A and B are shown apart, each in its own frame.
Chain A
Amino acid sequence: MSASLSRMVMAVAIASLGPHRYGWKLAMEAELEEVMAEGQGLPFATGCLLTAWRELPAHVEGRLVLASYTLVLGLILPAAALLLAGVFAGYPYLLAYGTQATSSFAGSQMLMPWLNAGNAAAMPALTLIVLLRIASDVLAAWFAAERDWTRTAAAQRFGAATTLTLATSAGLVLLDATCALLPALTLVLDVLAVALLRRLYIAAEQDHSVGQTT
């Protein structure tokens, strides 16, 4: 158990070290076998993992990994969490402000009872749309971290489609599309974050190819 855990930690450490430290990856891996024979594998592997993480800002590949995880964990996933919190909080942003205002202006709470019942019936469907949008955000974050730009774009297109569906449905059912403002705003943030990340990777690849040709 301890040996397999040590090897797992070492595998993460090795994956985190840049290609310019290839020899050191092999050195640490070989040393682990010796250290495990004396039962000190896990502390050794943990130290190697810390070494690898400390080395991340020292090479281009590591800086890109740090940038992608910062954007994914600091922007895209919090945006998805915000939408999920909205769902759990009972849709504070899915209230039909327009209908309330109309009722209030007319001085009657029962002016459009059929619309209120309609609102209630539409909520599960709207919830489902928001949940699909959250799922698309999580997938986009996952694919962006893996640098799979085709799938990231596909997930974001799906996210844009759900946001548009939410705005249209809410506009038709609740006579108010403001509930789609937050999903739309987070979608813009996600798209900007992924575009920035993609530009960083393209710039790094160009630098790398220029460095190889010169």
Chain B
Amino acid sequence: MIALLLALSEEAPGWTHGYELMKVTGLKSGSLYPLLMRMTDQGLVEAEWREPIVMGRPPRHAYRLTAQGLALARGATNDLPLPRLPALPA
């Protein structure tokens, strides 16, 4: 969920499609969609129908974080452990 939150927050306030989120986060559709559903139910993510870029394809769902989701993403970023730096020479 944190990977998804971070991926969505990097795109905020822009919209992202499900397949792009899969590529960025490395999540499979079997993990991504349950997360998106739960996060939408909890009001963290909002979804919108977008017209397709390629003619003849159906409209696609696009996702972005709500204000509540953005706040959670910021909190998650702050709570992330800092990367370990190599020890300084004495």
A27 to B36, CA, bound (A): 11
Q: Does A23 contact B (CB under 8 A)?
A: yes
Q: Does A54 contact B (CB under 8 A)?
A: yes
A19 to B6, CA, bound (A): 30
What are some 27 contacts across the A-B interface (CB < 8 A)? A21-B37, A24-B61, A26-B61, A27-B47, A27-B60, A30-B57, A30-B58, A30-B60, A31-B17, A31-B18, A31-B19, A33-B58, A34-B19, A35-B19, A44-B29, A47-B28, A47-B29, A47-B30, A47-B32, A47-B33, A48-B30, A49-B30, A51-B29, A51-B34, A51-B37, A54-B30, A54-B34
Would you call A33 and B33 a contact (CB within 8 A)? no
The digit string for B54-82, where 1 denotes a CB below 8 A from any CB of A, is: 00011111000000000000000000000
Dominant secondary structure of chain A at its interface with chain B? helix
Q: Which chain B residues border A118 with CB–CB below 8 Å?
A: none
The digit string for A9-48, where 1 denotes a CB below 8 A from any CB of B, is: 0000000000001011011111101110000000111111
Contact among A29, A34, A46, A47 for B31, CB-based, below 8 A: A47
Q: How far is the CB of B33 from chain A (nearest CB, A)?
A: 4
Known interface pairs A27-B47, A34-B17, A44-B29; A55-B34 also in contact (CB < 8 Å): yes
Closest residue to B60 on the A side, CB-wise?
A30
Would you call B37 and A43 a contact (CB within 8 A)? no
Q: Does A50 contact B (CB under 8 A)?
A: yes
Q: Which chain A residues border B59 with CB–CB below 8 Å?
A: 30
A72 to B51, CA, bound (A): 43
Nearest 4 interchain pairs by C-beta:
A47-B29, A47-B30, A27-B61, A50-B30
Q: Which chain A residues border B19 with CB–CB below 8 Å?
A: 31, 34-35, 44
Q: Which chain B residues border A28 with CB–CB below 8 Å?
A: 18, 29, 33
Q: Which chain B residues border A55 with CB–CB below 8 Å?
A: 34, 37
Q: How far is the CB of A116 from chain B (nearest CB, A)?
A: 62
Q: How far is the CB of B21 from chain A (nearest CB, A)?
A: 10
A29 to B18, CA, bound (A): 11
Most-contacted residue by chain A among B17, B29, B52 (CB, 10 A): B29
Would you call A24 and B57 a contact (CB within 8 A)? no
Q: How far is the CB of B45 from chain A (nearest CB, A)?
A: 12
Q: Which chain B residues border A47 with CB–CB below 8 Å?
A: 28-33
Q: How far is the CB of B40 from chain A (nearest CB, A)?
A: 9
Q: Which chain B residues border A44 with CB–CB below 8 Å?
A: 19, 22, 29
Q: Which chain A residues border B33 with CB–CB below 8 Å?
A: 24, 28, 47-48, 51
A29 to B57, CA, bound (A): 11
Would you call A24 and B37 a contact (CB within 8 A)? yes
Contact among B17, B30, B47 for A51, CB-based, below 8 A: B30
With A31-B17, A34-B60, A47-B33 known, 17 other A-B pairs at CB within 8 A are A24-B61, A27-B18, A27-B47, A27-B60, A27-B61, A28-B33, A30-B60, A31-B18, A43-B29, A46-B30, A47-B32, A48-B29, A48-B33, A49-B30, A51-B29, A51-B37, A54-B30
